[in-house]
Amino acid sequence: MIKRKLLGQHFLNSKTIAESIVSEAKITKNDVVFEVGTGLGILTPLLCKKAKKVISIDADETLVKKARTEFSDIENLVLKSGDGFKKKDSFSIFVSNLPYSKSKDAVEWLAQRSFSHGVIMVQKEFAEKLVAESKNRKAVSIIATYAFDIEKISNVRKNNFSPPPKVDSVILKITKKNNMDKRLISTINEIFSYRRKTVKNILKQFNKKTVIEKRVDDLSGDEIVNLAKQILK
C-alpha cells in the first residue's frame, strides 16, 4: 500500500479516455514514444499501434514483469524498469499518466529534453499551478511556460482510476518551445526562494548589480528566465 502511494499507482480504468489520450498525441509511424509509468498497460498497446517504437518504463519491477508477459508479442515495444525521469533515451513524443508525486520532476526533466510534444495527465491543482499568474506562480510555472506551450485537453474525474485518487485530473498537451539546462532550472528555483526581495537585492546575493526595484511577482515569466540567465553569466 505504501509503495502504491509513493509511486502514484492510480490506474486509469477508462478505455475511452485512454484512446483519447493516444489520439491527442498525434503519433505517426515515424515517432518514438516514451511512456513513463506503464502501470497495468492501458495506454501501452494503443501507443504501439500508432508508433514506430514505444519505450515504456515503470519503477515497479512487478508491473514491468507483468507487462513483459502480457505484451510479449508486441515487436515495437521496449519495456524498462527504473526511474523514467533518469533515463537518457531519445524520443519524439512523450505520453504519461504521471505519477503525481513526480509531476514537478517530470516538468523539469522534460524541459531539458528535446522532443516534439507530449500528452500528460496531472492532478487538477498541478495543472492550475502550471498556468498560474503573478503571485500564484511557482518556479515550476515559470519553467513549464518557458519550455512548453500548454493546452488543456479535458478534465478527468477521479472515479476513472482504480483505486480512485483524492482529486480530479486534467489531460494537457505540451508542445516543446525552448530547451533549458539544469543550471537554468535550479537558478529559477533559487530566485523563487527569494521571491519577496527586489530584483536588485536578489542580484546582490549573486554579486551582480542592477537598478531594477521590481519584485519577482511583478516580473513576466520571460523576465524571470532572463534574470536567471543574467545570474548565470
Ligand X SMILES: C[S@@+](CC[C@H](N)C(=O)[O-])C[C@H]1O[C@@H](n2cnc3c(N)ncnc32)[C@H](O)[C@@H]1O
Q: Which is nearer to ligand X, 8 or 45 (CB)?
A: 8
179 annotated as belonging to a binding site for a ligand: no
Query: Is residue 203 a contact point for ligand X (CB under 6 A)?
Result: no
Which residue(s) pair with 81 in the sheet? 58
> Shortest distance, CB of residue 24 to ligand X, whole angstroms?
14
Contacts of 121 (CB under 8 A, 6+ apart): 12, 21, 96, 97, 98, 156, 169, 170, 171, 172
CA distance linking residue 57 with residue 81, whole number of Å? 5
Nearest distance from C-beta of residue 16 to ligand X, angstroms: 13
| Count of residues near ligand X by CB under 6 A | 23
Closer to ligand X by CB, 85 or 148: give it.
85
User: Which residues does residue 55 pair with via DSSP β-bridges, in sequence order?
Assistant: 34, 78
Phi-psi region of 191 (alpha: psi -120 to 50; beta: other; left: phi over 0): alpha
CB of 131 to ligand X, least distance (A): 21
Q: Is 47 in the site for ligand X (CB under 6 A)?
A: no
Report how far apart, in Å, the C-alpha atoms of 148 and of each of 41, 46, 172, 174, 176 are.
27, 25, 11, 6, 5
If the CB atoms of residues 56 and 145 are measured against ligand X, the closer one turns out to be 56
Q: Which of 67, 84, 110, 111 binds ligand X (CB under 6 A)?
A: 84
What residue type is assigned to position 229 of the chain?
Answer: K
Binding of residue 12 to ligand X (CB under 6 A): yes
Is 37 flagged in the annotation as binding?
Answer: yes
> Hey, what's the torsion of the CAs at 102, 82, 110, 175, to 10 degrees?
-100
Interacting residues with ligand X between 25 and 44 (CB under 6 A): 36-37, 39-40, 42-43
CA atoms lying within 13 Å on the CB side of residue 58: 24
Q: Is 7 in the site for ligand X (CB under 6 A)?
A: yes
Residues 95-114: x/- map of binding to ligand X (CB under 6 A)? --x-x--x------------
Bridge-based pairing of strands 169-176 and 117-123 is antiparallel
Shortest Å, Cβ 65 to ligand X: 13
Residues 6+ apart with CB under 8 A from 71: 41, 44, 45, 48, 77, 79
Binding-site members for S-adenosyl-L-methionine are 10, 12, 37, 58, 83, 97
Residues at the interface with ligand X (CB under 6 A): 7-12, 36-37, 39-40, 42-43, 57-60, 63, 83-85, 97, 99, 102
